[in-house]
Amino acid sequence: MVSVAITLGRSAPTSAPVSSCDSRLAAEPFALDAMPGLPAPAPEYGPGASVVDTAPAHTPVQQQIPERYRRMEADEVHARIRAAKDALGDAVVVLGHHYQRDEVIAHADVTGDSFLLARRSLERPEAKYVVFCGVHFMAETADLLTRPDQAVVLPNLAAGCSMADMADLDAVQDCWDQLEAAIGRPLDVPADGPGEDGLVEVVPVTYMNSSAAIKAFCGEHGGIVCTSSNATAVLEWAFARGRRVLFVPDQHLGRNTAKAMGVPAELMPLWDPRKPLGGNSAQALVDARVLLWRGWCSVHQRFTTAQIDAARAADPSVQVVVHPECPQDVVDAADQAGSTEFIIKAVAAAPAGSSLAIGTEINLVRRLADAHPDKTITCLDPVICPCSTMYRIHPGYLAWVLESLVEREAALAAGAPEAELGAVVNRVVVDDDVAVHARAALERMLAVVP
């Protein structure tokens, strides 16, 4: 039986999530959105919602999908998705993140990691609707990169990302203000006095797994976005421009990348947004090379060196490959570490008969095992918990949004004025004032690593 990691409660950002694997969620997929037993407003969990959601008050919440979708047998759901896709034709492209369950991936026109998918949506200019089976920040990124007349749809607006939620704009702005006070001058203005080196005090770098608002903050302050594939090149770019880097929201990707580049641990203080000066002395902030935000991925933080030891004890020939969102000791102990696409390539490149233990999300690991029956591929984590927020994209939601789009197209074809049809269901739109700066941070990244 599949177990699903759920995190309960609506506690303050960065508090330790209470995680459990609850088999009831596999039996009742829509239970994740009703969250029985949780205090209000949990049933209205909104976009970006997951462990410690702090989505802005104006963000739309996921409405209850019609009862008929909840009651449908799986075969009917899949038949309806296929029929709706056929009816929409080239007007729709369905994107499926690698961490989605098989029943969703089966309907994806393109699969990939978050940024690859967002870019692939650019390759389908004829698609009026981009249905993103991923999480909220991914849909935002796709909206930033697609044309204004293309609508990006997230099948369940409650599919957030616990890591992205750990860095909200107010907390990052507060960090910036405290840093400015500690350092004693504007952080993003190059010093140009005699003998000065022209560097700015702090370059903000955000992982792709962050809200559009955080990307915009970085864009506005001379910063940049990175992915797990290009974090080294992006940090090199940032070090060429600033004395320090503020890396949000994933401490592990920041630490693992900077450590590999030779930055000592004592120059990488952790910023805890719940504490004054992030829990550091002012001098530690002045001396810092990379300031790490206290955020993490609830999936990848689960991996441990004990699991690696157990895998090697069971099979001394096993190759351990992990994602850089894993803690530093896990990355250090692994044979290889890299992005989702890196892991896929590492498995493909391993010779037949190889044994690989993978430290990443279980749906991807399972598909890799299915795709490579000549190799033994296992997940490092014996509890096997998928990403609980990715799990919110149930095929029922996909059927619902696609059929809504079919109805919309039928009404347009019948001559209904678009203005009378209302908004596209579950459309994710980044406000223009945010988008302009978020795109600046993304474009800097693309200039560094095309």
Judged by the rule CB under 6 A, the positions of this chain that interact with ligand SF4 are 99, 135, 161-163, 209, 297-299, 361, 387, 389-390
Residue closer to ligand SF4 (CB basis): 238 or 387: 387
Q: How far apart are CA 93 and CA 61, in angstroms?
A: 24
Least Å from the CB of residue 185 to ligand SF4: 34
Residue 21 assigned as binding residue: no
Residue closer to ligand SF4 (CB basis): 20 or 354: 20
For the chain, state the CA radius of gyration: 22
Residue 45 assigned as binding residue: no
Least Å from the CB of residue 75 to ligand SF4: 28
Sign of CA dihedral 148, 151, 157, 160: negative
Least Å from the CB of residue 20 to ligand SF4: 15
Residue closer to ligand SF4 (CB basis): 97 or 444: 97
**What's the CA angle centered on 215, arms 209 and 216, to 5 degrees?**
160
Q: E-strand spans in 55-149?
A: 92-97, 110-112, 129-133
Residue closer to ligand SF4 (CB basis): 150 or 209: 209
Residue 209 assigned as binding residue: yes
Residue closer to ligand SF4 (CB basis): 239 or 247: 247
Burial of 86 by CB count in 10 Å (0-12 exposed, 13-18 middle, 19+ buried)?
exposed
Q: How far apart are CA 156 and CA 61, in angstroms?
A: 9
Least Å from the CB of residue 387 to ligand SF4: 3
Query: What DSSP designation does 17 have?
Result: P
Query: What DSSP designation does 99 have?
Result: T
Residue 228 assigned as binding residue: yes
Least Å from the CB of residue 135 to ligand SF4: 5
Least Å from the CB of residue 172 to ligand SF4: 17
Query: What DSSP designation does 242 have?
Result: E
Q: How far apart are CA 70 and CA 63, in angstroms?
A: 13
Residue closer to ligand SF4 (CB basis): 347 or 390: 390
Nearest Cα to 79, choosing from 399, 394, 397, 406? 399
Show binding-site residues.
97, 114, 161, 207-209, 228, 297, 323-325, 340, 387
In the annotated binding site for [4Fe-4S] cluster, the residues are 161, 297, 387
- Residues at the binding site for iminosuccinate are 97, 114, 207-209, 228, 323-325, 340
